Copies of this chain bind each other. A is one copy, B any other.
Amino acid sequence: MPLQPGDLLAIVAPASPISREAFAAGIAVLATWGLRLTHGAEIFAPRPYTTAADKAAAQRLAQAITDPEIKGIICARGGYGTIRLLQHLDLTLLAQHPKYFLGFSDITTLLCLFSQRAGVVTCHGPTVAHLAEIWPEAQEHCRCLLMEPSLERLCFPDLQVLAPGTAQGPLVGGNLAILCSLLGTPFAPTLSGHVLLLEDYNEPLYRIDRLLQQLRLSGRLQGVHAIVLGGFTGCGPLPKVWELFASLGEDLGLPVLAGLPMGHQPDNYTIPLGTLVRVDSQQRTLQWLMPGSL
- Which residue numbers of A lie inside 8 Å of B, CB to CB? 49-51, 79-81, 83-84, 86-87, 181-188, 206-207, 209-211, 213-214, 217-220, 243-244, 247, 251
Contact = CB atoms under 8 A, between A and B. Distances in A.
A84 B187 CA distance: 25
A235 to B, nearest CB: 14
A184 B183 contact: yes
B86 A209 contact: no
A214 B80 contact: no
Contact of A218 (B49, B184, B219, B251): B184
A188 B187 CA distance: 17
25 contacts: A49-B209, A50-B247, A51-B251, A79-B206, A80-B207, A80-B209, A80-B210, A83-B210, A83-B213, A83-B214, A83-B217, A87-B217, A181-B211, A181-B213, A182-B214, A182-B217, A183-B183, A183-B184, A183-B214, A184-B214, A184-B218, A184-B220, A185-B217, A185-B218, A185-B219
A140 B83 CA distance: 43
A217 B80 contact: no
A204 to B, nearest CB: 9
Number of copies: 2
A208 to B, nearest CB: 10
A46 to B, nearest CB: 11
Contact of A188 (B49, B87, B182, B184): B184
A50 to B, nearest CB: 7
A209 B15 CA distance: 13
A153 B218 CA distance: 41
A139 to B, nearest CB: 28
Contacts of A210: 80, 83, 181
A207 B180 CA distance: 13
A49 B247 contact: yes
A206 B247 contact: no
Candidate in A50, A182, A184, A206 with the most chain B CB atoms within 10 angstroms:
A184
A217 B187 contact: yes
Contacts of A220: 184
A188 B218 CA distance: 10
Contacts of A81: 206
A214 B49 contact: no
A112 to B, nearest CB: 15
A214 B183 CA distance: 8
A89 to B, nearest CB: 13
Contacts of A209: 49, 80, 84
Contacts of A86: 217
A58 B209 CA distance: 18
Contact of A181 (B214, B243, B244): B214
